[in-house]
Amino acid sequence: IYSHDTFGLGHLRRSRAIANAIVEQLPGASVVILSGSPVIGNFEFESGVDYIRVPGVTKLPDGDYRSLNLNVSLDEAVGFRQALILQTAKAFHPDVFIVDKEPTGFRGEVVPALDYLQASGCRLVLGIRDVMDEPSLLVPEWERKGAREALIRYYDEIWVYGLKDVHQPLEALDLPPEVESRITYTGYLRREVPPTPSLTKYPKITKQPFILVTTGGGGDGDDLIDWVISAYEADASLEQPALILFGPFIDRDKRRSFVERIARQPKLDVMSFDNKIEWLMKKADAMVAMGGYNTFCEALSFDKRTLIVPRTRPRLEQYIRAVEAERLGLVRMLSDYREPRTPERMAAALRSLSSQPKPSEVVIPGLLDGLDRV
């Protein structure tokens, strides 16, 4: 599995869920995950799954990229990554190669491996989440990267980890009928709690019904955290306490300022990062999250009343998912896309969480069948 990891935890956590499910169903199978994530070593994998970490790259605020740790140019870092990916393909000789999200990989780095594996008879699969981006941005981006051509040329199957009734992420690309026929909508990827509990000590707040506020990796979750804290600061009558989970990529200065504000609020507490967040989610009474793919799967899997506060920059992926999920009655959404971000709006949304229906009250056939279909 090639995991497109330049930022955040999303791709890595999706790849890990798929890898773990494969070895559980097929004892004797081996899965290698190729990833550039700097935190891949913090996660546990089932027996039969291992990973190779390629040198990391990171996204800058202006949308550009640079090498994460090595003092080399971006081109050199990509060349190094490309060579490692190809070498792994030759040494491991897989039967199936699953590429996550990017048909050509980061800056085309996966193309030499695709050429080699296609010639050697390996089955090539592109796995994509339910929502990519709004069509007006996705189409030119894929044209620029040669992604549409790569999709047509290399991939035997395309797995969409969602449902056709919710969203059709590749609809705008005008794919030939023979490529359309390779698309399978698997349903969402069900999550379970890890077999062993987290060793992290949970704050006292978790001994009563609480709201879990999570921003995934945390690198772009400042607005959500700020909005939740401001609601508690503005409305002393908010009864249900909330636990805010920062994520490993939060900016250090922002984190310090948030910790100071949280310390002044008796109904708030904070944790840095939990690599077994599933246990916390199961424990929580309700969730507030940005609405990335993994968190959405977890909200459905653990049947949690969830308020989605989607980011709308630099892409509308989370907003599109939240709009569709709210339409189906699976979650509620609070957005600053068209209305201002006020403490009062957040406080009202937090208060109504407890009376919201649970996702399981909506019956959608095949909703969480993703791992079984994979």
pLDDT, tens only, 256-309: 999 999 999 999 999 988 888 899 999 999 999 999 999 999 999 999 999 999
Give me 249's structure tokens: 């990529």
Please report the pLDDT score of residue 8 as a whole number.
67
Distance CA 67, CA 69 (A): 6
**Please, which pLDDT band fits residue 6 given cuts at 50, 70 and 90?**
low
The pLDDT assigned to 7 comes to: 62
User: What is the per-residue pLDDT across 71-103, written as a single tens digit (0 to 9) for each?
Assistant: 999 999 999 999 999 999 999 999 999 999 999
More confident residue, 331 or 6: 331
Is 25 exposed, middle or buried, given 0-12, 13-18 or 19+ CB atoms closer than 10 A?
Answer: exposed
Q: Which residue has the higher pLDDT, 63 or 11?
A: 11
What the block records as the tokens of 23 is 């070895």
Instruction: Check pLDDT > 70 for residue 150.
Output: yes
The percentage of residues in the chain with a pLDDT greater than 90, rounded to a whole number, is 81
Quick one: how far is CA 207 from the chain centroid?
28
- Least confident span in 1-15, 115-129, 192-206, 333-347: 1-15
Burial of 232 (0-12, 13-18, 19+ CB in 10 A): buried
Residue 125 structure tokens: 């699969």
The CA-atom distances, in angstroms, between 231 and each of 236, 242, 254, 269, 344 are: 9, 11, 18, 14, 6
Q: Are 99 and 5 in contact (CB under 8 A)?
A: no
pLDDT of the residue at 29: 98
Predicted confidence (pLDDT) at residue 45 exceeds the cutoff of 90? yes
In this structure, what DSSP letter does residue 342 have? -
Mean pLDDT of 236-249: 93
First to last CA, the chain: 13
Q: Which two tokens stand for residue 351?
A: 């208060």
Q: What is the mean pLDDT of residues 229-247?
A: 96
3-state SS class at 286: strand
Instruction: Please provide residue 306's backbone torsions phi and psi, each rounded to the nearest 5 degrees.
Output: -135, 135
For position 60, what pLDDT does the model report?
Answer: 78
Separation in Å, CA 230 to CA 223, 259, 342: 10, 13, 8
Closest C-alpha to 302, from 330, 266, 261: 330
Q: By the 8 A CB rule, do 216 and 189 touch?
A: no
Convert 272-306 to b/e letters by CB count within 10 Å (16 or more is b): ebbbbbbbbbbbbebbbbbbbbbbbbbbbbbebbb
Q: How confident is the model at residue 13 (pLDDT cuts 50, 70, 90)?
A: confident
- Ranges assigned E (strand) in the chain: 2-3, 31-35, 49-53, 57-59, 65-67, 96-100, 123-129, 157-161, 183-185, 211-214, 242-245, 268-271, 286-289, 305-308, 332-333
Q: Are 301 and 344 in contact (CB under 8 A)?
A: no
d(CA 233, CA 350): 13
Strands (E), 63-131: 65-67, 96-100, 123-129
The pLDDT of residue 64 is 86
Q: Please state the pTM of the whole predicted model.
A: 0.93
Q: How confident is the model at residue 14 (pLDDT cuts 50, 70, 90)?
A: very high
Mean pLDDT of the chain: 94
